[in-house]
Amino acid sequence: MFVHHCSACDRRQLIFPSQIKGTAELAGEPGLAFTCWCGSEQVWLLGRKISAAAAA
Residues that bind Zn ion (CB under 5 A): 6, 8-9, 36, 38, 40
Distance of CA 54 to the CA centre of its chain: 16
- Please say whether the beta carbons of 8 and 40 come within 8 A: yes
The residue among 26 and 51 lying less far from Zn ion, judged by its C-beta, is 26
The residue among 8 and 51 lying less far from Zn ion, judged by its C-beta, is 8
The residue among 1 and 52 lying less far from Zn ion, judged by its C-beta, is 1
Burial class (CB in 10 A: 0-12, 13-18, 19+), 27: exposed
* Nearest distance from C-beta of residue 6 to Zn ion, angstroms: 3
